[in-house]
Amino acid sequence: MAQSFTNFKDADSQLLASLYGKADLNFVSGKGSYLEDASGKRYLDFVSGIAVNALGHCHPSIQKAIAEQAEKFMHISNLYPNKPQIDFAEKLLAASGFDKAFFCNSGTEANEGAIKFARKYFNRKGLIEKQRIVTFVNSFHGRTFAALSATGQPALREGFGPMPGEFEHVVWNDTNALCKAVNESTCAIMLEPLAAEGGVMTISEEMVKTINELREKFNCLVIADEVQTGVGRLGTFLGSSKYGLNVDIVSLAKAVGGGLPLGVVLMRSHVAEMLKPGDHGTTFGGNPLACAAGLAVVNEVLSSGFLESVLERSEELKAGLAKLAEKYSFLGNVHGDGLLLGIETEKPVAELIASARENGLLVHRAGANVLRLLPPLNVSKEEVKEALSILDKSCSLVS
């Protein structure tokens, strides 16, 4: 720590641009589902670096993969093919059923790529009028300009000047509004299979059916932003396939790099065939260390029984949350699927988060009034129980 500061929170706010509301904590190490701070206090981590640490902290297979690749090379650019990218792409395509992969560095970048590929696809086909992208109110697709334009939260766009055009936002699960918005000039319908940041909102069967029909009727693409839902979070490798969405392009990030920055766009061959060298690119995209770490994660997620246990832990956690909602009248409906769960609260969600933290549990928020739980995907039955008991205590302290 810089000598002039007495704690990390002060140092952080003096030295880093104040863009986040940070808690006053100084974590020094993590193992599995736990983080430890400088005082030796342990925290059960149900934030997982915002759905990044799918295997918890310091998973040995990720550590090994990174160490081994670090002995070989850490960066060589996208001018040359390399084994970490090829091995990882092969695994991702086999797991997802998609045909081609593009590697970048983050979620917002994966969405920028997805949007560019969708527009280029129709442009190359000579259908230059097909540029409109329909997305959803309260969606979250990232902070760079096109991804922000796609994001259905006007407050996040405020003060940043003109946004890329031809984006339209429709109310989530409003099939009538979607039918009105989609037409011959629609390039793509872009959606999170489960709207995470916007309040952990699941998609209705009716909506899935409508999206699939509109895709056929108007010959538009469907882009699934699986930055948060992908790589097993919902108990299937992709959330879109779980819900039966017919998808042309998928964006992945968060968990896909095993804790290192990595984004991926998966696409069907009809999309890939319309792309040419020079259309898009990135210096760091598909960094060999990140791809090696990502391969280790995906191998674990696809290992026998792993996704089944995600669904089992999900049921336990959902049932436990529902019990808490019976006990505390300020708690409301339980939302979500897999290990992307939320519970409505009438008490300020920040208070509940702070109380849980005091009691050794890290949780996050979604939307205005939803407490969001994102445990590691390999969380144990005992850890789920522990989290529920800490939440119970935390609720009793705020009520």
Ligand X SMILES: *Cc1c(COP(=O)(O)O)cnc(C)c1O
| Residue 107 or 320 with smaller CB distance to ligand X | 107
Please confirm, yes or no, whether 24 is among the known catalytic residues: no
Is residue 140 flagged as an active site residue?
yes
**CB 351, min distance to ligand X, A:** 24
According to the binding rule CB under 6 A, does residue 175 interact with ligand X?
no
253 binds ligand X (CB under 6 A): yes
Query: Residue 186, interface with ligand X (CB under 6 A)?
Result: no
| From 181, 189, 196, 266, residue interacting with ligand X (rule: CB under 6 A) | 196
Is-catalytic flag, 136? Answer: no
Pick the closer one to ligand X by CB: 32 or 142: 142
Site for ligand X in 37-96 (CB under 6 A): none
Cβ closest to ligand X, residue 257 vs residue 320: 257
121 touches ligand X by CB under 6 A: no
d(C-alpha 136, C-alpha 151), whole Å = 7
Contacting ligand X (CB under 6 A), which of 115, 187, 203, 227?
Answer: 227
State the catalytic residue, choosing from 103, 136, 237, 254: 254
342 part of the interface to ligand X, by CB under 6 A: no
Kindly state the smallest distance separating residue 159's Cβ from ligand X, in Å: 19
Near ligand X by CB under 6 A: residue from 108, 210, 287, 314: 108
> Judged by CB under 6 A, which of 228, 287, 314, 345 binds ligand X?
228
Q: Which is nearer to ligand X, 196 or 250 (CB)?
A: 196
Minimum CB separation from ligand X for residue 132, in Å? Answer: 20
Interface ranges with ligand X (CB under 6 A): 106-108, 111, 140-142, 192, 196-197, 225, 227-228, 253-254
Q: Which residues are catalytic?
A: 140, 225, 254
